[in-house]
Amino acid sequence: MILYTTVPEELIFPSDQEAFQKRHIIEMNGISLLIEETGENQCQIVRVLSTNPNHYLLESVFPGQKVPFFRS
């Protein structure tokens, strides 16, 4: 299907809210991280949200790392 329109795709096909609700921005050891819930009490680091280049070298916050996750 080709849609000839200037309306952006995300307006025509809004993505489901579930994908967004799974994502959270948290802070771990002073580093902001974007995480995604992957299961019960587990999440995966999606992105490091930091401007400090050294934070990207820390093994404990490498993207893809699985970390236990608790709702407080």
Rounded Cα distance between 6 and 31, Å, is 39
Would you give the binding string for another protein spanning residues 1-40, x where CB under 8 A is met?
A: -----xxx-xx---x---xx-xxxxx-xxx-xx-x-----
Under the binding rule (CB under 8 A), the answer on residue 44 touching another protein is no
Other Cβ atoms within 10 Å of 61 Cβ, number: 19
> Which of 25, 20, 21 minimizes the C-alpha distance to 50?
25
- Residues at the site binding another protein, with contacts judged by CB under 8 A: 6-8, 10-11, 15, 19-20, 22-26, 28-30, 32-33, 35, 43, 49, 51-55, 58-61, 65-72
